[in-house]
Each structure stands twice: as C-alpha cells, then as structure tokens.
Structure 1
Amino acid sequence: MTTATDTDPWRTKYYDSLGRLEEQQLQFRAMETALKRLVGRLCTAALGLAPPLDEQLRKLQAVIRRETTAEELEKLTPALTEAIGALDHPLPPPLTNPSDDGVASDERLRSILGALLLELRRDAELVEQADALDQKLSAALTSEQLPDVLATLTDMVGKRIQHIERAKEEIEALLGHMVGKLDEIGQFVAEQHQNQAQSQASSETLNTQLVGEIKAMGETVETAKDLLQIRHQVRSRMDAIDKHLKDFRQREATFAAAISTRNEQMRSRILELEAEARRLQSQLQDEQRASTLDVLTGIPNRQAYDKRVDDELHRLRRFKQATCLAVWDVDHFKRINDTYGHRAGDRVLRVVADCFASRIRSTDFIARYGGEEFVMILPGTHLEDALRFGEQIRTAIAEIGFHFRGSPVSITISSGVTALSPDDTAGTAFDRADKALYRAKQEGRNRCVTV
C-alpha cells in the first residue's frame, strides 16, 4: 500500500517536469517565431533572382505566415531546392515572344533601332541603307532576321564613325594648311618691312650722294681759277649725280619687281585661303544647321528653341513688341504608339510638324520640344490673336485624314498659350504655358487654353 509520503516525491517530480516542458515549449515557440521571421526576410532578400525561384519563395512566405506542419514544409522542399539549383545554370533570356512562334515583335526594341536609324540618316551616304533597314523594321522580325539587322546596324555605325573621323582629319588638315598660309603671310609682311627698310636706306644713300656732289661742286666753283676749269668740274659732278640717280632707279626697279612678284604670290595664296575658309565655313554652317534640326520631323529642335526664345525675350524688352508662346502636345499619343506601333507614332509627329510649318508666318517659330511636345513663338501677336491662330491650327490638325496601314488614326492636339512679359525668363514663360496646356488636357483635350 502506497502512502502519501511515498507519492510526494513523484508528485514533485511530475510538477517539475511539467514546468520544464512548458518552459521548453515557450522557448520552442520563441525560436519558431524567430526562425519564421528570419526565413521571411531571407525570402524577401532573394526575390528577383529568377521567376521560378520567386514563385517558390512566395509560396514559402505564405506558409510561414500561418500555422503549418512539418509535412507541409516538406512538400515545398523539392521544388524550392530545384529552383535554387537552377540558379547555377541560368537560361539565356528569350529574345522573342513564345506566343509569336519565334517572332521578335517587341515594339520597344524596334523603337530603339528606329531612333538609331534616325541618327544614322544624318550621314548622307547612309540614307539609302538606313531607309532599306527601316523598311524591315516596319514588320515584326523573326529571331533569324534579328542578328542580320543588328549586324547591318553595326556596320552602318562603323561607317558613320569612319566618316566622322575622316571629316575630322580633313578639318585638321585644312586648319594645318591655313596655319601654313598664315605663316606665309607673316613672312611676306616681314619681307615687305625689310624691302621698305632697304628702299629707305637706298633713298638715304642717294640723298647723301647728291648732297656730297652738290657740296663738292660748290667748292670747285669757289676754288677754280678760270671758266674752263669750272665747266670741266661741273660736268664731272653732273655725270656723277646722273650715275647715282641711275643706280637708285635700278635698285628701286629691282625692289619693285621683287615686291610685285611676292604680291602676286601672296594674292594667289590669299585667294586660295579664302576659298578654303569659305568651304570650311559652309561645312561648319551645315553641321550647325543639322545640330539644330530635329531629325524625325525636319523642324528646329529644342536647342534651336532655347536660342530663339532668348532672342525674342531680349527683343521684347527692347522694343516692347507683343509676343506669345504656345506649347502643344499630341493627345493620347501613347495610345497611338501602343495601338499602331512606334512607326505610326513617328508618322503622326511628322504630319503634325508639317501642318505647323506650313501654316506659321515667316516671322513665327516652331520647334519640337521633345517627344510629342511642340513649342511655338509668335512675335508681334497679342494673346487674343494667338488664341485665334491656335484654334485654326488645332482645327486643321483634327481634320487631317491620317491612315496607317489602311486604318484611320484620329489625331488631335492641345495647346497652352501665354503672352510673354519683360520680366519673364525662358523657364517662367514655358512653365506658364505648360500649366495652361495641363488645363487643356484636364478639360477634355483637343482645345487651346490661355493663361
């Protein structure tokens, strides 16, 4: 028979064991919480390495956020292990869309290639080749065609670099030639100075000789004893003077001939130098004009606008002439690009630019500011007249019957118009017109708003 005294040690041991178990359970739960937090952070850190791994990591994150079992975690282990192992043998990113059966139809890629072709068209020798390649980009490219297109672009870029280097060498050679001609001019000036000094020295020599002969003649007259002797001495002195004059004329004739020859040589050099300078000036002007024109639309670019607006503000402050600034933006241009492709978007920009250029006055200015945005300067125009003119252009653009590959494409444009003031800077004026453009967009687009 067991007594109470016998059961006390067992009871004590039981309670002690129960307390240790509860303490261990609390420790395990704390450890589990810490491990879940650690696993969650590791999953977050590993996201983005590869899509298959991301999928398994998100599954693991979803599981550890709730109560789970060892069996459920074990089920995730094989797929997670496989996804981690695949990181050691990454697959190359696909160049084509699988749904297109290997067709590289990425519009962004073709847009980038098209922009590169626009730059290559600056080289007159590459225009025909660029047009041919641009025609290929009008349709989707297969994965087999893409390497050939890239190889052709690489070749064209190489040719463009060669042409730029050749032009650079020509300019350097021309400048070197001009420096040589300038050295010749400097030498000619030095020789002219030397000839002038020699001529002056010859004149001084003649003067000294003449003074000496005349003085000697006077002394002879005073000391002569008869008329015959005087006549003989005077004749002798006159012969000497005549000889000095002949020598002087001979020296001057020699100097004049040398100077005439050098002048003719220098005249020929200067004419040659002027012709080369004109050719260089024309080449530089062509380059400057090209740098201020937008390649896509053919109208001035932002660089040209920045210079023109500063000139107009200076003229406004000086002459107090009313001048307006209009900022234009093609409505829903992204939708056109997304629906019809970037080639259609490029054609829309060219059509809009042509409409602007054909309707502005000779004193007005239009430029492509960037993307689908244009900016217009209207000198000698009050705000009401600028708004009326803007409405005419807006209506004309809305009435354009534009089609791309047989599909009609609606084109509308919005504008913000403001009058320049003497206190304006280029930035403040543009910001004000841009805010008016924003209002036009908010109010429904296809409209002109003044501020």
Structure 2
Amino acid sequence: MTTGTDTDPWRTKYYDSLGRLEEQQLQFRAMETALKRLVGRLCTAALGLAPPLDEQIRKLQAVIRRETTAEELEKLTPALTDAIGALDHPVPPAPVASSTPSQAFAANDERVRAILAALVAELRRDVELVAQADAIDEKLSPALTAEQLPEVLTSLTDLVGKRIQHLERANQEIESLLGHMVGKLDEIGQFVAEQHQNQAQSHASSETLNTQLAGEIKAMGESVESAKDLQLIRQQVRERMDSIDKHLQEFRQREATFAAAISARSDQMRSRILELEAEATRLQSQLQDEQRASTIDVLTRIPNRQAYDKRVEDELHRLRRFKQATCLAVWDVDHFKRINDSYGHRAGDRVLQVVADCFASRIRSTDFIARYGGEEFVMILPGTHLEDASRFSERIRAAIAEIGFHFRGSPVSITVSSGVTALLPDDTAGTAFDRADKALYRAKQEGRNRCVTV
C-alpha cells in the first residue's frame, strides 16, 4: 500500500517539473516576441531592394503579425530564399517593363519624405522661417515624385542657408555683447585702480599738510623765542598764521578736487554697472530661452527626448534615495503610417499635436510627458504605484479614442497603445524603457488601442 509519505517526493518532483515547464514557456514566448520584432524590423529595412523580394517580405510581415505555426513559416521559406538569391543574379528588365524615375523613386518615397519632414521641423525652430518651412512641408504632403524632388531640395537648401545666416548673426550678437561686457569690466577695473591712486594722492596731501603745519609751528616757536620786541612777535605770529591758513586752503582745495573727481567717476561707474547688469540679465535670459528651446519638441511644444533623458535619470536617483513608487509609460499612435499615407504629413503632424495636447492636459503637475521620437511618447508618473498607473493610462487611452478629429473635412480615427512598468531601484534608463517598450509591443500584437502593464 502506498502511503502519503511515499508519494510526497513524487508530488514535489511533479510540481518542480511543472514550474520548470512554465518558466521555459515564458522564456520561449519572450524569445518568440523578440524574434518577431527583429524579423519585422529586418523586413522593413529590406523593403525596396527588389519587387519579388518585397512581395515575399509583405507575406512574411502579414504572418508574423498574428499567431502562426512552424508549418506556415516553412511554406514561406522556399519562395523567400529564392527571392533573396535572385539579388545576387539580377535579371535585366525588359525594355517594356523598365520603370520611370518616378516609379524607381516610389520605393524610397516614404523614407525620403520622413527625412525631409524632420529637416523642416528643425528649421521651424527659427521663427523667421516658419512660414517658408510650412510652404515646403505642404509639398511633402502628397506623394513626392522624382521630378518634384529637385525643387524641394533647392528650397530646403536656400532655407538651410538662411538658418545658418541667422545662427551666425546670433553668434555675432552674443560675441558683440560679450565684448561690450568685457569693455565695461575693464572700465570698472580702471576705476578701482584710479580710486586706489586717488586715495594715495589724498594720503600724500595730508602728509604734506602735516609737514607744512609742523614746520610753521616750529618756525613760529623759534621766532617767539628769539624776538625781544612784542610788536615784532605779533607780526611774526600773524605771518605764520597767514601761512598756515594758506596751507589749509590749498589742502581743502586739493581734497575738494579729489572728492569731485571721485564723485563723478563713481556716478559714471554706477551707470556702467547698471548697464552691465542689464546686459548680463539679457544674455542670461537669452541663454535660458535657448536652453529651454533645445529641450522642447518643435512640433508638439512638449519636452523632447533630451529633456526626457535628464528627467528619467533624476527620477531614478530620487527612487533610489527616497524609495518613492514611480512608473514609466511608453505610448505609440496606432496606424500612424496609414494616417500619413491617407491624409498626408500635415494631417500626421496635427494628429501628433492633438495627442500631445491630450497627454499634457491630463497629467498632474508632478508628472512628465515627452515626445520620444516619431509617433512615440514617454510618460513618467512619480509617486504612482503600478495599479494606479494602469488605471490612469486606461483613462487617457479612452480619452484619445473619443477625440473627434477631422482633417480638411475628413474624419480621422486616432487611437494609442501603451506599455506601463514600474521603475526598479536597480533599473537604468535603458532597462526601464525596454521593459515598457516590450509591453507596448504586446499591446500592438494584441490588437492596439490598449494598455499593457508589466
């Protein structure tokens, strides 16, 4: 008969085996997710090399976006292998099938337009060039052809030249201001040196007066001692007193001259110092404006990637020091490329602005939102536990989904997905973001317009 004691080791082994199996399944799923993501990015990078390969790549992309089997992937392998092999032995196209310059350009159209749009966004930083940059951006909205490209590039070249001129002008203004400030500082240094010299002269004048008075008094004493006539004594004393009075008047005149010079110079220096302070304040304000502008995204007017990099390091430091719960959410606009393709880049820009406004209007003053790049945003929620961050993200997701957005009379559906994670004491900015990014990828895989928490 088998006792409970006899079965305990088998039960333990059974549970251990189940645990190991579950752990292996989780590792396999994570690896499968990472591989699918890698394959997706490789497919995107390979598009445009050859039409037969593009066809097989799109089939592969369609398969990996959903649940698939090894047999289904195996069926795609031969055709994909043949298409890749054909790249090493290209067949010259028949004259009838030769592509026009516009058709040849179409394969890289989106990539080129994205690069040009990023350059236009950078040029918008110059307030004097906003209207011209918008005019160029209008040309990027429809499908850009090879024939249109030279005109757009010429306009961009002119605009870049103007931007360089404006930057050089700003640098010259700063250099001129700094030179002016250095000149003022030299004046202050000269004033201090003159003050020191005036003090030395005043001290020498006092010493001269003391010597003169001592000499007159000594001479008066000698005259009194040697004189035998009272009338003569009176005359000599009167002469000495007149001489002393003259010395005092000369001394007072010298001191008045020194005082007037010092007063005038002091007034001049006070004026110079006030000018210097005003110029220093203006320069400091200008530098602060430049610094703020460098951390603000031009399109959405919220903080950019540079601002996020600094803020997340600060929050990680605060987390390690004060143990305050903090969460990170990575957001992505769903089907953003489809919006650009269907309505143009202007519509895509407005979508990003609307989404950014929705984020900024719903976070707390202690929270942080930034445009990470492209259609991706990142949010930091200090003092927030993961459960609360998940509920908060759901509310924002629902609010964006309810936005009634129209572009030129056409309704445009906007939804977002997010991945939410809690910052850990041993996290780096990279590990925390990667964890939230993987959760975002899961949200995309599971159908978009949802938040996934890890």
Question: TM-score, with normalisation over the residues of structure 1?
Answer: 0.70
Match of 1:382 among 381, 385, 389: 385
SS of the counterpart of 2:384?
Answer: coil
Is the counterpart of residue 154 in structure 1 residue 160 in structure 2? no
Distance 1:434 1:247, change over 3 A: same
* Cα distance in 2 between the residues matched to 1:150 and 1:440: 39
Give the C-alpha shift of residue 300 in structure 1: 0.8
Partner of 1:281: 284
Is the counterpart of residue 131 in structure 1 residue 134 in structure 2? yes
* Cα distance in 2 between the residues matched to 1:300 and 1:337: 23
CA deviations 1:177-214 (Å, max 9, x no partner) are 22222222222221111112111211222223233333
Partner of 1:203: 206
Distance 1:372 1:141, change over 3 A: closer
SS of the counterpart of 1:96?
Answer: helix
Match of 1:189 among 192, 196, 219: 192
Is the counterpart of residue 312 in structure 1 residue 323 in structure 2? no
Partner of 2:103: 97
* Cα distance in 2 between the residues matched to 1:304 and 1:148: 35
Partner of 2:258: 255
* Cα distance in 1 between the residues matched to 2:100 and 2:180: 55
Partner of 1:18: none
* Cα distance in 1 between the residues matched to 2:225 and 2:322: 85
Amino acid of the structure 2 residue aligned with 1:97: Q
Partner of 1:178: 181
Distance 1:436 1:149, change over 3 A: closer
Single out whichever of 428-437 and 301-310 deviates more from structure 2: 428-437
Is the counterpart of residue 291 in structure 1 residue 280 in structure 2? no
Q: Contact 1:436–1:450 at 8 Å: present in 2 too? A: yes
CA deviations 1:239-259 (Å, max 9, x no partner) are 222222211111111112222
Partner of 1:434: 437
Distance 1:391 1:217, change over 3 A: farther
User: How many aligned positions are there?
Assistant: 366
Amino acid of the structure 2 residue aligned with 1:364: D
Give the C-alpha shift of residue 431 in structure 1: 3.6
Partner of 1:237: 240
* Cα distance in 1 between the residues matched to 2:143 and 2:434: 40
* Cα distance in 2 between the residues matched to 1:199 and 1:258: 12
Give the C-alpha shift of residue 167 in structure 1: 1.6
Give the C-alpha shift of residue 322 in structure 1: 4.0
Q: Contact 1:367–1:375 at 8 Å: present in 2 too? A: yes
Amino acid of the structure 1 residue aligned with 2:215: G
SS of the counterpart of 1:97?
Answer: helix
* Cα distance in 2 between the residues matched to 1:319 and 1:215: 82
Amino acid of the structure 1 residue aligned with 2:289: D
Q: Contact 1:365–1:378 at 8 Å: present in 2 too? A: yes
Taking the TM superposition and a 5 Å limit, the aligned residue runs for 1:36-47 are: none
Give the C-alpha shift of residue 164 in structure 1: 1.5
Amino acid of the structure 2 residue aligned with 1:354: D
Distance 1:242 1:155, change over 3 A: same
* Cα distance in 1 between the residues matched to 2:223 and 2:365: 88
Q: Contact 1:96–1:104 at 8 Å: present in 2 too? A: no
CA deviations 1:62-105 (Å, max 9, x no partner) are 9xxxxxxxxxxxxxxxxx9x969x9xxxxx9953128xxx9999
Q: Contact 1:104–1:143 at 8 Å: present in 2 too? A: no
Q: Contact 1:300–1:367 at 8 Å: present in 2 too? A: yes
Give the C-alpha shift of residue 407 in structure 1: 4.6
SS of the counterpart of 2:403?
Answer: coil
Partner of 1:323: 326
Q: Which has the larger radius of gyration?
A: 1
Q: Contact 2:305–2:372 at 8 Å: present in 1 too? A: yes
Q: Contact 1:105–1:140 at 8 Å: present in 2 too? A: no
Give the C-alpha shift of residue 393 in structure 1: 0.9
* Cα distance in 2 between the residues matched to 1:388 and 1:236: 104
* Cα distance in 2 between the residues matched to 1:310 and 1:103: 42
* Cα distance in 2 between the residues matched to 1:302 and 1:154: 26
Distance 1:421 1:201, change over 3 A: farther
Residue segments in structure 2 that go unaligned for 5+ positions in a row? 1-48, 51-81, 83-89
Partner of 1:14: none
* Cα distance in 2 between the residues matched to 1:244 and 1:424: 84
Is the counterpart of residue 414 in structure 1 residue 417 in structure 2? yes
* Cα distance in 2 between the residues matched to 1:136 and 1:309: 37
SS of the counterpart of 1:369?
Answer: strand
Is the counterpart of residue 358 in structure 1 residue 361 in structure 2? yes
Partner of 2:401: 398
Q: Contact 1:104–1:141 at 8 Å: present in 2 too? A: no
Is the counterpart of residue 347 in structure 1 residue 339 in structure 2? no
Amino acid of the structure 2 residue aligned with 1:116: L
Report % sequence identity.
83
Give the C-alpha shift of residue 218 in structure 1: 4.3
SS of the counterpart of 1:329?
Answer: strand
